[in-house]
Amino acid sequence: MRIIVGGANSISRSIVGYLSHGNNDIAVVDTDEKALNDIAQEWDIMPICGLVSHPDVLKKAGASNADLLIAATDNDEVNMIACQAAYTLFDIPRRVACIDSRVYFKAAWGGLFNEDSLPIDLVISPEYEIAKAVMNIIKIPGMSAVYPLCGQKLKLLSFRITKKCPLAQIPLCNLSISAPDLNVMIVSIVRGGKIILPNGSDMMHGGDEITILAESDKIEDVLHAFGQEHKSNERVLIVGGNKTALYLAERLETDDNIISCKIIDNNPNTVEDLASSLSKTDVYSGSIMSEAILEEISIGEADVSVAVDFEDKDNLVASMVAKKNGVENTIALVTERTANTQIINIGENILIDRTSITMSSILRELRKANIVQAYSQGASLGEVWEIAIHENSMLLGTDIEKVNIPQDCKICALVRKDDVYFNLKDMEIAVGDHLVVFCTPDAVRKAEKVFA
């Protein structure tokens, strides 16, 4: 696939890093020549110096033959114009724009993004998506990822198995004996940074990070079975005052279960802006490394700290300081969890992968399968798809166990109206079904053809 990525910022780098794992021909456009050179040294891309909204620059980047434009510069308006030029002048089939300002998302302007006005197929706000993902994790303590599927009927949960987990060291085929009421699908196991598609003889070990599918109304019972019981997060501390922090605080302010929310940032102007935008959140100017600030905010009273600064190392340090000062749950935003496996277990810190969250927003446009929702577990770990079955599907009437899926791919669940099935034996695919499918990176291309 020929892809043009506009921007060489941190978001664009995340996108390029993910796309580089596939068989893609990528051009990156930015006005910052040094940033372009840095990306070109790390990945096999074609660097183009210029503004991605300029037609001559798009032409130089190969727009005439491009399949997809992802406009992800720091300027919303540049991203919009780039998509307009891609559509009008070069007929690029699919166009994605990163748009950060929430004013464009107001209901009053709902008709702004379409082929008759601004021809953008997918509008994403990475910082807003990250805030939503973090909020889901705050609501279910102990998780490293929480994603809804199939109209909220299912939840995709990722968490670390502790050595005290009641279900550890038990063959998966025997889980029904140890936990007769447990009805879940073990989607994948990550051990030592490597992905495992488990079968009945596999076991979960302490330190594994597992991903499961569970019915949303049974989450509490499922977590109890895995020994994942944590105190509710009612008092939240956010370290870093960027837009992710703002969007997260806005969500926390509307949640009746949240008692308090505090934000720390060492930029006085940022603190002033946040304080004027938020009504129930206490905003502090200073550093989490300051003993005086830690005392002022009463850090030991926080149930969870969320570090959302731009630098991974700052977020990791902030989480370690919070843990040392008595905060039970600590969350740190990092660029890619799989690149930080050596520090995952320090203080039981939960790492949130900003690359996976950003790419999850884009996967529906990137993949050729009939995807309703898609979530990335990381560039080297795989993807989870929700596939809708329509009346023209070639899979209609096929026994699920006979679907010719690639080796490193599996159909994990079927949702039919209000019913959820994990045991798929003797089930035929019907119109209206939704399938939940997991693919490792090596299986993605073949799986796309099966579910196209």
Angle, alpha carbons 303-309-311 (nearest 5°):
125
pLDDT digit string (tens) for 322-347?
Answer: 999 999 999 999 876 554 444 444 45
Residue 133, in any domain of the structure: no
Residue 70 in 3-state DSSP?
strand
Residue 374 pLDDT: 92
- Asked whether 271 and 265 are in contact (CB, 8 A), the reply is yes
Residue 79: pLDDT band with limits 50, 70, 90: very high
Residue 165 in 3-state DSSP?
coil
- Asked whether 261 and 283 are in contact (CB, 8 A), the reply is no
Residue 343 pLDDT: 44
User: Among the three residues 172, 194, 225, which one is the final residue of a domain in this structure?
Assistant: 225
pLDDT digit string (tens) for 186-202?
Answer: 999 999 888 999 999 99
Residue 298 clears pLDDT 90, i.e. is over it = yes
Domains: count for the chain: 4
Residue where the block lists tokens 């998780």: 143
Residue 336 pLDDT: 62
Tokens, residue 65 = 């033959």
Residue 387, in any domain of the structure: yes
State the average pLDDT over residues 419-430: 95
Residue type at 240 in one-letter notation: G
Residue 381 pLDDT: 87
Verify that 68 and 94 share a domain, yes or no: yes
Question: Who has greater pLDDT, 424 or 111?
Answer: 424
Verify that 325 and 379 share a domain, yes or no: no
Q: How far is CA 248 from CA 21, 129, 236, 303, 416, in A?
A: 31, 10, 10, 16, 34
Residue 353 clears pLDDT 70, i.e. is over it = yes
**Using CA of residue 235, residue 237, residue 243, residue 246, what is the dihedral sign?**
positive
Q: Write b or e for each residue in 223-261: b if 16 or more Cβ atoms lie within 10 A of its Cβ, otherwise e.
A: bebbebeeeebebbbbbbbbbbbbbbbbbbeeeeebebb
Verify that 327 and 406 share a domain, yes or no: no
State the average pLDDT over residues 298-311: 94
Residue 110 pLDDT: 65
Tokens, residue 431 = 């119109």
- Asked whether 433 and 415 are in contact (CB, 8 A), the reply is yes
- Asked whether 214 and 208 are in contact (CB, 8 A), the reply is no
CATH of the domain at 402: 3.30.70.1450
Verify that 341 and 436 share a domain, yes or no: no
Verify that 13 and 113 share a domain, yes or no: yes
Q: Helix count (H) and strand count (E) of the chain?
A: 13, 22
User: Among the three residues 205, 225, 245, which one is the final residue of a domain in this structure?
Assistant: 225
Distance from CA of residue 45 to its chain's centroid? 24
Residue type at 232 in one-letter notation: S
Verify that 15 and 117 share a domain, yes or no: yes
Residue 344 pLDDT: 45
Residue 396 in 3-state DSSP?
coil
Q: Write b or e for each residue in 142-178: b if 16 or more Cβ atoms lie within 10 A of its Cβ, otherwise e.
A: bbbbbbebbeebbbbbbbbbbeebebbeeebeebeee
Residue 220, in any domain of the structure: yes
- Asked whether 270 and 263 are in contact (CB, 8 A), the reply is no
Residue 129, in any domain of the structure: no
pLDDT digit string (tens) for 171-188?
Answer: 999 998 989 999 999 999
User: Among the three residues 356, 372, 399, which one is the final residue of a domain in this structure?
Assistant: 356
**Using CA of residue 227, residue 231, residue 233, residue 238, what is the dihedral sign?**
negative
- Asked whether 4 and 59 are in contact (CB, 8 A), the reply is no
Verify that 220 and 261 share a domain, yes or no: no
Residue 416, in any domain of the structure: yes
Residue 342, in any domain of the structure: yes
**pTM reported for the whole predicted model:** 0.88
Residue 340 pLDDT: 46
Verify that 149 and 37 share a domain, yes or no: no
Q: How far is CA 211 from CA 40, 71, 158, 185, 333, in A?
A: 34, 31, 4, 9, 19
Verify that 239 and 206 share a domain, yes or no: no
Residue 339 pLDDT: 45
Residue 160 pLDDT: 92
Structural domain range at position 182: 143-225
Helix axes 243-253, 268-277, angle to 10 degrees: 30
Residue where the block lists tokens 């023209």: 392
Distance from CA of residue 3 to its chain's centroid? 21
C-alpha closest to that of 7 among 45, 50, 63: 50
Verify that 326 and 259 share a domain, yes or no: yes
Residue 399 in 3-state DSSP?
strand
Question: Who has greater pLDDT, 245 or 365?
Answer: 245
Of 46-60, 101-115, 356-370, 418-432, the range with the lowest mean pLDDT is 101-115
**H-state helical runs in 43-91:** 55-60, 76-88
Residue 131, in any domain of the structure: no
pLDDT digit string (tens) for 305-326?
Answer: 999 998 889 999 999 999 999 9
Residue 22: pLDDT band with limits 50, 70, 90: confident
Please, what is the average pLDDT of the chain?
Answer: 91
Cα–Cα dist 337/204, whole Å: 20
Residue 132, in any domain of the structure: no
State the average pLDDT over residues 66-95: 95
Proportion of the chain above pLDDT 70, given as a percent = 96
CATH of the domain at 23: 3.40.50.720
Residue 337 pLDDT: 53
State the average pLDDT over residues 358-377: 86
